[in-house]
Amino acid sequence: MSKGESKMGVSIERVGLKKQISLFDCVTILVGIMIGSGIFVSPVGILFYIRSRGMSYLLWALCGVYSALCAACFAELGSTLPISGGEYMYIYRAFGDFVAFLCLWTHMFKYCTAYAALCLIFSTYILQPLYKDCGEIPQVLLRLSSALVYSK
């Protein structure tokens, strides 16, 4: 009996997920992460401290232009140096081992803290309907649920 046949001699196709991700899939995942986390929390803080709708719109537009320019820079680097490793490899090629190592660790710290912030935001959104009439969510419960989300 071969690998693709059953006991009765009928061929069986194996069903599974493709182990690849397209550009469209990657962009939708990244946009979903950005929209799902920061866009619902950031406007409140910006409006609270700036106290002007027009200025907050201008700030959002400037941040969007800045992000687009950063993306264009990474696209240029990616097409110029087509090696895997991303930003670490670009810094390694430009400045050497030590600076690339420091960059790697600072990014690791940044991503861990950003993920912790996302977990706090998620926990706040999940627990808020339960404490709508009771006031503020207890900090112990918020931290515990965030830690559970963080640990997966």
Q: Which of 1-5, 28-32, 42-46, 72-76 has the highest mean pLDDT?
A: 72-76
Of the pLDDT bands very low, low, confident and very high (cuts 50, 70, 90), residue 152 is: low
The answer to whether residue 131 scores a pLDDT higher than 90 is: no
pLDDT number for residue 127: 87
- pLDDT of 69-95, one tens digit each? 988 998 898 888 888 888 888 999 999
pTM assigned to the model? 0.53
CB atoms inside a 10 Å sphere around CB 74: 13
pLDDT number for residue 69: 92
**Burial of 123 (C-beta count, 10 Å sphere; 0-12/13-18/19+):** buried
- Fill in the DSSP letter of residue 9: S
